[in-house]
Amino acid sequence: MSTTEVPPPYFCNPAEEAEALKHVDWASHEPLMFMRRRGGIKLDYADYYERYHRPENVERWAKLLGPGGMERLHFHKGMGLKTEREEIDRTIAVSKKMHELGLKVSVYVGGTLHTDWFFKERPESKDWIAVSTSGSPITYQGYQLWRYFPCLNNPGYRAYVKEVLDVAVDEVDADEIFFDNQILRGEPRSCRCHVCRELFPKYVEGKYTPEQRVERFGHADISGITPPLWTDEWPAGAVRTINDPVIQEWIDFRCRNVHDFFLDMRQYILSKKAAVAVGMNIKGIHPHNLCFDNGIDHGRWQTPGFNCCDAGLHARIGPKGQMSAEFRAYKMTHTTAMTQSPQGSNLDNILCLVMNKQLDVPGFGMRPSMGREVNNIYGPLGRFLRQHEHQLFGTRPIFMDVAVVRSFASMAYHCMNWIYGPLIAEQALWDSRIPFGIVFDQNFNTLKRHKAVLLCNQEALSDDQWKKLKAFVENGGGLVATEHTGARDDWRRARVKNALTAVFGLELGDKPARKEFGKGRVVYLPKLVPAIEYKDVPLRHPYASYNDCVAPKNWKQAEDALRWAAGGRFSFELKAPKGIAAEFREGPTPDERVVHLMNFTGKKIAKPITITMEAGEKEKWAVRILAPDGAPKAPPTPKKVKGGWSVTLKGMGDLYAACVWSPV
């Protein structure tokens, strides 16, 4: 729940809402100039552009979104402040009207330079351009070849972006500033300009003492290291595992560049206006190596911000019966500081509200929220979500009995780990309705909040991480490890003895092994067997399809191992028809619990749904159901079972229901 005062829910009169929806034109973050330059637009696009800027249309936004609602406006696409001035002035006028009506204003800051105009406006910007391995500029996708990527490290470019931000804050008076297209392009289309070539060895040198540099690189003097030179003979796409310490550091350097740019811009914005939300499109967790490809290591994003996940993965039943969705992006909001936007459909919006750890921005309020990021749900469903938004969602923690580890070294230096390993385990946990979270290196100090840790081929963990895992198990935690977990250190140097053997005394082989250790339990599984083998192309970087992301063949074995390691049971167990997903969360009060049921089938469920919750011997619980299509006249009565309480619902509607547990 927000630390700021919670306003009463906003309800638009249904008749007025319906009338406004007939005539409203929602804004676009794309300026008209860009749409015309890109080509292929509808003949009436300019008419739409004119309509949505009109004051009467902004009034419709206010009626539909309510007080504090938000729309994202076009602002700076990258043609230049002078070149885009006419359209920026239109945004300023709309912003003024929005503020008069009590709305929040979001503006879009693009991450490419449109060279048709920008080089004329800022001739010095030719020195800001990102340069690929071949020495050529790095251009945008989709044959938009006039759009060049700048180097995020270039001080001239950073100074220019701050000029853009001056206009955003001082003239537009923006309440949110959103950056797009700052993530890096895949190798070899990665910047090697003079700034990066100078900064790279200095950055690496600053990470290590002279003695550590000798151990890492063979010599204390690393001033001569350079970015990897990919060629047709040695293409980046052929890389599967990365042992070269300089290439490893290059991956870390690229991840640092994107993150540092965000931190720099965020600090500058907040120094000018404290009550501003700042976001950047860094994508969710996809089935390819985002660290190597795009310079994105989600774990290091521990400074509050807002992420957009626009990979086009909409919540649906996949071709193999799996529940496909951006659930990973929402899960990781609880172990990073980046909250997440929805994908657009009603079900996607439900996932966004139910699963996000929402961000409470001082002076701005909660996000994502109804009327802001979730601004396309109206009618009875919209009123239901507005009524219960602050009760059911907000900043409350989720239950993460199982922690799926994605360590930087194990993931960034092993491309296939993004296709197998954690990816298929997360899908299986999601489909099995087991409470779980996704954790990174930065979360190893809070392992005690989990019942069990799952290490799916996390082969490259540090000695310090193994010390923390040992303490976690000794104090009663569970550990399940697969494949080559423990075989290497965080520089991918081969260990003389596997850490699972050295730390826990597990004898590893081609058969599962388990043992009790201290107050906890440890399990080793030789492999999570993929149900669908990835068809690898030797010279193409591994990039799998979500359609093929399904539970491992031996998931039952893995689930049994996790349950044993977790002490025999999870906080919640759910028996339901296929296509029902669940998130388990605290709330509406800290003493209460909510099981959020999300229906991926799109059809009403008439079969029973049984929820069992772990509880103390002397505890008593009552249950109530909240649902947009109406709650049962009499709430179901939970019954006491061994180790907890159980309740059975006769079914659910076609979209969503919340089962709220309250102590009696």
**DSSP, residue by residue, 544-572:** --GGG----TTHHHHHHHHHHHTTS--SE
Q: Cα–Cα–Cα angle for 473, 479, 481, nearest 5°?
A: 145
Mean pLDDT calculated for residue range 162-168: 98
Mean pLDDT calculated for residue range 488-512: 97
What token pair was written down for 407?
A: 């360590």
The dihedrals phi and psi of 283, each to the nearest 5 degrees, come to 70, 170
Q: Which residues contact 89 (CB under 8 A, 6 or more apart)?
A: none
In Å, how far from its chain's centre is CA 591? Answer: 28
Is the domain defined by 402-565 classed in CATH 3.40.50.880? yes
Strands 609-614 and 572-575 turn out to be antiparallel
Q: What is the DSSP letter of 108?
A: E
pLDDT in tens, 468-496: 999 999 999 999 999 999 999 999 999 99
pLDDT in tens, 67-102: 999 999 999 999 999 999 999 999 999 999 999 999
Paired residues of 237 in beta bridges: none
Mean pLDDT calculated for residue range 367-394: 90
H-helix or E-strand spanning residue 340: strand 338-340
H-helix or E-strand spanning residue 198: helix 194-207
C-alpha closest to that of 539 among 230, 273, 129: 230
C-alpha closest to that of 541 among 256, 196, 189, 197: 189
pLDDT in tens, 619-659: 999 999 999 998 888 889 999 999 999 999 999 999 999 99
Helix-, strand-, coil-residue percentages of the chain, each rounded to 5: 35, 20, 45
**pLDDT grade for 2, boundaries at 50, 70 and 90:** very low
Which CATH superfamily does the domain covering 572-663 fall into? Golgi alpha-mannosidase II (2.60.40.1180)
Q: What is the pTM of this model?
A: 0.96
Average pLDDT, the chain: 95
Domain ranges of the chain: 27-209+254-303, 402-565, 572-663
What token pair was written down for 137?
A: 């500029």
Q: Which pLDDT belongs to residue 180?
A: 96
**Given its phi and psi angles, is residue 602 left (phi above 0), alpha (psi -120 to 50 degrees) or beta?**
left
Distance CA 148, CA 129 (A): 7
Distance CA 227, CA 136 (A): 15
Q: Cα–Cα–Cα angle for 525, 528, 533, nearest 5°?
A: 155
- Residue 106's SS3 state is strand
Nearest-Å Rg of the Cα atoms of the chain is: 26
For helices 55-65 and 85-100, angle between their N-to-C axes, nearest 10 degrees: 50
End-to-end C-alpha distance for the chain, whole angstroms: 22
Q: 289-309 burial by CB neighbour count: b if 16+ within 10 A, else e?
A: bbbbbbbbbbbbbeebbbbbb
Q: Which pLDDT belongs to residue 264?
A: 98
Burial class (CB in 10 A: 0-12, 13-18, 19+), 655: buried
**Given its phi and psi angles, is residue 130 left (phi above 0), alpha (psi -120 to 50 degrees) or beta?**
beta
- Indicate the residue type of 29: H
Mean pLDDT calculated for residue range 263-282: 97
pLDDT in tens, 180-231: 999 989 999 999 999 999 999 999 999 999 999 999 999 999 999 999 999 9
Q: Which pLDDT belongs to residue 392?
A: 85
Residue 6, pLDDT > 70, answer no
The dihedrals phi and psi of 73, each to the nearest 5 degrees, come to -110, 155
Q: Which residues contact 43 (CB under 8 A, 6 or more apart)?
A: none
- Residue 647's SS3 state is strand
Distance CA 511, CA 526 (A): 6
Distance CA 433, CA 296 (A): 28
Distance CA 663, CA 321 (A): 36
What token pair was written down for 67?
A: 């007080």
Question: Which residue has 């989600």 as its token pair?
Answer: 298
What token pair was written down for 118?
A: 């920008």
